[in-house]
Amino acid sequence: MSPTERWQAVMARDRRFDGAFVYAVRSTGIYCRPSCASRRPRRTQVTFFPIPEAAEREGFRACRRCHPADANGRDPLGALVREACRAIDAGATPPGDSRKVARAFKRILGITPRAYAEARRVARFKQELKRRKQVSPALYEAGYGSTSRVYERTHEQLGMTPATYARGGTGVEVVFVTVPSALGRLLVAATDRGVCRVMLGDDAAKLEADLRAEFDAAHVREEKGGKLEGYVAAILSYLEGTEPHLDLPLDIRATAFQRRVWQELRHIPFGETRTYAEVAKAIGQPQATRAVARACATNPAALVIPCHRVVRADGKVDGYRWGLERKKTLLEMEKNA
């Protein structure tokens, strides 16, 4: 199913697709069945996952109203992966042929069972950090054997040191500015390390609220000068067709898989496109087409990471976090620049 078809199923609350996929809402941190009777979210806040475990790997919680983890899908490979995920979460070895399980993981989730286990351990570590507020008890509860190992494995994915994350980002300063652009309101936010968010929308207040929700314990303030001025100028020049290469420093949280996808997207030349399958092949995981699509949908830095340059295999433009019309406008601008 394409993202558009999945969204139509969600809008129709179509029970026929319960178990076929789940949808997660970034603003609430919750994932649901397609038929969930909860209030429909904004399309820009929604990400789709093939199985509940994939949503949970990204930190989303199951809806208590529709209980999406209880829905049984008809895909036998999906069922195999779910069974293996439950075994890994319980600290056991997945049952069955290990090679078959590994192939199913790559097809459904785009990662290996080992990568899934590590991602779940990082997720547990993050939960324990928030609960305990101390690094040492959290790392042992999550299964890490030493402090050096946890810093090595988690610093990149947290986007900050574990101690800072335990304080909810307290002490991290995020500055932002919202300006008009050819695509509506443009919000650019940065830390002292680089750009951490680029967002597009129609409502500046909504963009700011989304930013503050993401960095809820950080010191978030509006600023119109400093490094932001240069970042914004570069992005606006790009939108005017005069700056084809947005080589700006980034400070973003990412899983190892997301980081590989986003790095590959930055290699797509201005004015060209790639299919999701071509990106998956370029990063060495040709079966991870759907996982590549999810990585594109969760891109935190629009334009700087040009996920708009990724299209369907048939060449059609589909699925863009900031709106399909904006994606079409961007591709047309690049084509004619």
Indicate the pLDDT class of residue 22, thresholds 50, 70 and 90.
very high
> For residue range 110-143, what is the model confidence (pLDDT) as tens digits?
778 888 877 777 666 666 555 654 545 555 454 5
Q: How far apart are CA 312 and CA 237, in angstroms?
A: 28
For residue 142, the model assigns a pLDDT of: 47
CA neighbours within 13 Å on the CB side: how many for 215? 28
Q: Is 248 exposed, middle or buried (0-12, 13-18, 19+ CB in 10 A)?
A: buried
CB 301 within 8 A of CB 258: no
Q: Could you tell me which residues are beta bridge partners of residue 188? A: 177, 198
Average pLDDT over residues 153-164: 50
For residue 255, the model assigns a pLDDT of: 73
For residue 131, the model assigns a pLDDT of: 61
Residue 162 reports pLDDT greater than 60: no
- Comparing CA positions, the residue from 294, 266, 248 lying closest to residue 110 is 294
φ/ψ (deg, to 5) at 30: -120, 145
> For residue range 191-229, what is the model confidence (pLDDT) as tens digits?
888 899 999 999 999 999 988 888 877 889 998 777 889
Residue 323 reports pLDDT greater than 80: yes
Sign of the CA dihedral with 151 first, then 194, 184, and 240 last? negative
What are the residue numbers of the active site? 32, 307
For residue 171, the model assigns a pLDDT of: 62
Contacts of 216 (CB under 8 A, 6+ apart): 168, 169
For residue 127, the model assigns a pLDDT of: 61
Average pLDDT over residues 242-261: 83
For residue 184, the model assigns a pLDDT of: 92
Residue 166 reports pLDDT greater than 70: no
Residue 8 reports pLDDT greater than 90: yes
Q: Considering only CA atoms, give the Rg of the chain.
A: 20
**Most confident of the ranges 106-110, 143-147, 187-191:** 187-191
CB 337 within 8 A of CB 21: no
Give the pairing type, strands 274-275 and 310-311.
Answer: parallel
Average pLDDT over residues 277-284: 91
Q: Could you tell me which residues are beta bridge partners of residue 302? A: 305
Spell out where the chain has E strands: 22-25, 30-32, 46-49, 61-62, 173-181, 184-191, 194-201, 219-222, 274-275, 310-311
User: What's CA 299's distance to the chain center, in Å?
Assistant: 6
184 vs 90, residue with greater confidence: 184
Q: Could you tell me which residues are beta bridge partners of residue 275? A: 311
Helix axes 113-132, 135-142, angle to 10 degrees: 150
Query: 173-239: what CATH class?
Result: alpha beta
For residue 130, the model assigns a pLDDT of: 55
For residue 140, the model assigns a pLDDT of: 45
CB 276 within 8 A of CB 30: no
CB count in 10 Å sphere of residue 110: 24
Indicate the pLDDT class of residue 36, thresholds 50, 70 and 90.
very high
178 vs 42, residue with greater confidence: 178
Determine which of 28-37, 39-48, 108-117 has the lowest per-residue pLDDT on average.
108-117
Q: How far apart are CA 82 and CA 88, in angstroms?
A: 10
The domain over range 1-74 is classified in CATH as 3.40.10.10: yes
Q: Is 39 exposed, middle or buried (0-12, 13-18, 19+ CB in 10 A)?
A: exposed
Indicate the pLDDT class of residue 304, thresholds 50, 70 and 90.
very high
For residue 320, the model assigns a pLDDT of: 86
Q: What is the CATH number of domain 256-336?
A: 1.10.10.10
Indicate the pLDDT class of residue 169, thresholds 50, 70 and 90.
low
